[in-house]
Amino acid sequence: MSAAAHNLIWAWDFDPSIVAGCAALLGVYAIAHRRDFSRAGWFVAGVVAMFLALVSPLDALADTYLFSAHMLQHLILVLVVPPLMILGISPRFARIVLDVPAFARLERILGNGIVAWAVGMATLWVWHAPYLYNATLADEDIHIFEHLCFLVSATIFWWPILAPLERSRLSPMHAVIYLATAAVANSVLAILLTFARPGLYPAYLDPPDPLKILPMVRGGWGLTPALDQQLGGLLMWIPGGMVFLGAVVWVIARWYASAEDNGLRIAAVH
């Protein structure tokens, strides 16, 4: 193994705030769901995905070396972590929380399909604007705020699709339209990034090399700044688009299964 590869493999950053935050999420979940852990695997998977995205060598690559690594990190925080964590919430706990008037009012506002879609897509677009994106690379506090924005806005976005209570979810037809238009918005942004001039995010043109891995990244992996930017756009475009497509298929399958169950119940009555 080369020295560069060794340096990268061991480039884990166990930031105390991330470790404490993930531990707190698991602790709160355990207390809130102490009588029902049937969905705990989903929630734990979401926390683990977030933890790995933020402390593993992927974070070192994303912060300093590669736009494509940063894009992969963002996709995990937007398209993987929130859906898994929402799937981990039990209907019983959701019902208890939404029986509180203040939380019920907040959900009626943020759970509205138009609002949730706008929050999710606007956040995705705004933070990839060059001025703000470059600011996150220059200031760690802004970077942390960006990640929090992604996690919160993506949770709002996915709630009308995956909420544990049926009353909180969009109708199947509206859900398909919601996801399909989100896929288009995601693809348009991805296309712009893929075909933009190289150096859209200048920090990746000639990055510092604290891990001494830049020759491996540029020469061994062949990731020039131009190719790196194109790869980042393609990651958002194709794998990101497949997540939305998969969600559409899931909604349709759930719709079909529900209709089939209703048909069986009606047949049984007659």
Residue 3 CB contacts under 8 Å (≥ 6 apart), including other chains: 212
Buried b (16+ CB within 10 A) or exposed e, 220-251: eeebebeebbbbbbbbbbeebbebbeebbeeb
Q: What are 51-66's pLDDT values in tens digits?
A: 999 999 999 999 999 9
Query: For residue 60, which of 238, 216, 227 has the smallest C-alpha distance?
Result: 216
pLDDT in tens, 149-186: 999 999 999 999 999 999 999 999 999 999 999 999 99
Give 117-145 pLDDT, tens digit per residue.
999 999 999 999 999 999 999 999 999 99
Task: State residue 139 phi and psi, 5-degree precision.
Answer: -135, 115
Q: Side chain identity at 174, as an amino acid letter? A: H
Backbone angles phi, psi at 2, to 5 degrees: -70, 160
CA–CA separation, 163 and 43 (whole Å): 13
Over 70: is that where the pLDDT of 36 sits?
yes
Cα gap 218→214, rounded to integer Å: 6
Check whether 269 has a pLDDT greater than 70: no
**Kind and range of the H or E run holding 40:** helix 40-55
Rounded to whole angstroms, how far apart are CA atoms 11 and 58?
A: 9
Q: Is 206 exposed, middle or buried, given 0-12, 13-18 or 19+ CB atoms closer than 10 A? A: exposed
- pLDDT attached to residue 82: 98
Q: How far apart are CA 234 and CA 221, in angstroms?
A: 17
pLDDT of residue 260: 56
Q: Which domain holds residue 216?
A: 3-269
pLDDT, residue 233, reads 96
Query: What CA–CA distance (Å, rounded) separates 115 from 98?
Result: 18
Burial class (CB in 10 A: 0-12, 13-18, 19+), 269: exposed
What tokens does 188 get? 């348009």
Per-residue model confidence as pLDDT tens digits over 94-120: 999 999 999 999 999 999 999 999 999
Quick check: 34 pLDDT over 90? no
pLDDT score, position 5: 93
- Split into its structural domains, the chain has a count of 1
- Tokens for 148? 């929090």
Count Cβ atoms below 10 Å from residue 86 Cβ, excluding itself. 21
Q: What is the pLDDT of residues 238-267, one digit of tens each?
A: 999 999 999 999 999 988 877 655 554 554
